[in-house]
Amino acid sequence: QEQKQPVLISGSTSGIGLAIAHRMAGAGHPVMLHGLMEPAQGAQLQRQFREKYAVECGFSAANIASEEGCAQLVAETREAIGQPSILVNNAGVQFTSQAQDFPTEQWHRIIAINLSAAFFLSRELLPGMRENQWGRIINIASVHGLVASEQKAAYCAAKHGLVGLTKVLALENADFGITANAICPGWVETPLIQPQIEAIAERESLDLEAARIRLIGAKQPLTRATAPEAIGELALYLCGDFANTITGASLPVDGGWSAQ
Ligand code: NAD
């Protein structure tokens, strides 16, 4: 692709999404930033991106827990950077509890944000990608899209669902120059894992660093958390020409977690 394609990255005000946005903008792609952030802070982030990378950059604070919120995000994206032909479904939330005690509203919230939003955003953007005969859908799933852990009924259900959705999108759009893939990280160094580290520190009377190693080592043979920038690099690779036959794949970046 000679001309750099516009990218929409859901949940890109923090963590993995923000790292993906930096990598995409660094490679010259116009980017749509999105996340639950105050408008003033969002505008500031947008300014930072424009100054640092000299690319088109928009910001939306649409709440994508509903279909309407997803439509709003797409409308604001088209307005700011034009029709995106790269969609990164990254926004996600977590809540942990045994299934028997899992609160109804947390179940619905996790399915809505981690799974349904990816479907609604893909459905909105696929017609444009098919018309252009080019598109990339990158779903940030999780190792929990491939294997399970206790306490994560809704999260595992949503992420396994997202892996399944990715495969269907890959099959249906294979003739249109569109690929759909899932990236399945293990532990990544982001704010999402902080409450889990703090819970272990408190429960086992450990300092935060020891709790961090305990958390990661319980699942990953390789006890280092993945840098968010590594996910950004892989997302960019999936947009490049050499990745044009990678589709329907679920790519673990998990320190060997899912190899066991
Ligand atoms: P994070 O909490 O740092 O960022 C989440 C982003 O999603 C933020 O921008 C937030 O504003 C946005 N968001 C949340 N709810 C939203 C809503 N209702 N409407 C709009 N935006 C919303 O999280 P992260 O750790 O960077 O995770 C990003 C993705 O990677 C998630 O899908 C997560 O499940 C997945 N993941 C994370 C890890 C990890 O270890 N951190 C591992 C595997 C997969």
ipTM: 0.99
d(CA 137, CA 126): 9
The atom of ligand 1 lying closest to the CA of 187 is 40
Pairing, β 57-60 against β 31-34: parallel
Domains of the chain, CATH where assigned: 7-186+226-252 (3.40.50.720), 189-225 (no CATH)
Rounded to the nearest integer, the mean pLDDT of the chain is 96
What share of the chain in percent tops pLDDT 90? 95
Find the mean pLDDT for residues 175-182: 98
Interval 13-53: pLDDT, tens: 999 999 999 999 999 999 999 999 999 999 999 999 999 99
Q: Is the CB of 96 under 6 A from ligand 1?
A: no
pLDDT at 13: 97
CA distances from 222 to 6, 29, 91, 230, 253 (A): 35, 33, 26, 15, 11
Whether the CB-CB separation of 246 and 176 falls below 8 Å is answered with no
- So what's the pLDDT on residue 193? 82
| DSSP secondary structure letters along 135-191 | EEEEEE--GGGTS--TTBHHHHHHHHHHHHHHHHHHHHTGGGTEEEEEEEESSBSSG
For 64, 109, 129, 133, 162, the CA distances from 113, given in Å and listed in that order, are: 6, 6, 23, 28, 11
Q: Say yes or no to pLDDT of 2 above 60.
A: no
Q: Is 53 a catalytic residue?
A: no
pLDDT over 70 percentage in the chain: 99
CB 210 within 8 A of CB 143: no
Q: What is the mean pLDDT of residues 170-194?
A: 94
Q: What is the pLDDT of residues 65-115, one digit of tens each?
A: 999 999 999 999 999 999 999 999 999 999 999 999 999 999 999 999 999
Is there an atom of ligand 1 within 6 Å of 140 CB?
Answer: yes
Residue nearest to atom 25 of ligand 1 (CA): 192
Taking the CA of residue 61 as reference, the ligand 1 atom at the shortest distance is: 20
Average pLDDT, integer, range 229-238: 98
User: Which one from 120, 155, 187, 257 is the annotated catalytic residue?
Assistant: 155
Question: How far, in Å, CA of 215 to CA of 228, rounded?
Answer: 18
pLDDT at site 1: 47
Rounded to an integer, what distance in angstroms lies between the CA atom of residue 19 and that of residue 188? Answer: 11
Mean pLDDT in residue range 137-156: 98
φ, ψ at 34 (rounded to 5°): -155, 140
Q: What is the pTM of this model?
A: 0.96
